[in-house]
Amino acid sequence: MSKRRPEQMVHTVHLSSYKGYPKRAAVKKVSWLEEDEAYSPVEFTHEIVLSEDRTKKEGGWADPPEVLTIAKALQKRKSFDGKLVFEKDTGRPINVHGRTGIRGRGLLGKWGPNFAADPLVTRVNPETKKLQFVAITRADTGALAMPGGMVDDGEKVSQTVKREFIEEAANFPAEEKEELQGLLDELFSKPKLVFQGYVDDPRNTDNAWMETSCFWFHCNEKLGKEIKLQAGDDAVGVRWLDIIPGEDDFETLHGNHKDMILAAIGKDKKFSKYLD
């Protein structure tokens, strides 16, 4: 797995906007270790999150708004990027990578880290010989991204990557799905964990943020030709995208997906040549 020291990640979320979010307050100093006396973040938790309070709604996916009522459970919550630190006056966890311009949870259900999983599915294009990966177009921002999603309560991350791939990138009617099943089982049989950590996601706030586990699955020639793609769920498009640093589509991937992909491939003796 790629071992990035968490402190090397400098997030840019405070510079981003997201549909339905208020404008972020100015962030002069990202790091909590530096004083930013004028810092005045906007409080924002989306009403969808409040309506999914699992203490009030059966099957709800969000924590309750009163963070102190789950203080014990929060103490046990672990971030991939370091020990959780809590605000003294409110008990809220603070973003492991610094200020974002928004307090509260935005559209994220959990206080602190919200865990996702991302499948990096690659192939060598049989004609161009370029290394490519399966990229979806996200419905929320229009950005290209790995077809990842949130880990459901009680679900193993290795199951999440396969489920999310099928939902977002291989969303065929039942019959066709059955035909593809064998290929997908083969492809997802050997998960290789290549990244675990923070995602520079535009939904992040000072008190809630995305973290992911990225698993790499490479298609051999046969699989690369036979796997069919069909967008679904949160994806409005899907395609094989060339992994070419410097090219616009690749440079502008969601969050830090580009860095995760480059780190995984750059460290692999067999594949790093594709980045030359």
Binding site for ligand RP5 (CB under 6 A): 116, 118, 145-146, 148-150, 199, 201, 210, 212, 234, 255
CB of 204: closest distance to ligand RP5 in angstroms?
8
Q: Which is nearer to ligand RP5, 63 or 201 (CB)?
A: 201
**Tokens standing for 63?**
């924590």
Residue 83: count other Cβ atoms within 10 Å of its Cβ.
7
CB of 146: closest distance to ligand RP5 in angstroms?
6
DSSP code at position 213: E
Angle of helix 174-187 relative to helix 157-169, nearest 10 degrees, comes to: 140
- Rounded to 5 degrees, φ, ψ at 130 are -85, 145
Which position's Cβ is nearest ligand RP5? 148
CB of 198: closest distance to ligand RP5 in angstroms?
9
Residue 245: count other Cβ atoms within 10 Å of its Cβ.
11
Q: Which is nearer to ligand RP5, 178 or 251 (CB)?
A: 251
CB of 189: closest distance to ligand RP5 in angstroms?
22
Give residue 31's identity as a one-letter amino acid code: S
Q: Which is nearer to ligand RP5, 144 or 210 (CB)?
A: 210
Q: Which is nearer to ligand RP5, 163 or 177 (CB)?
A: 163
Q: Outline where 41-173 has alpha helix (H).
A: 47-51, 71-76, 157-169
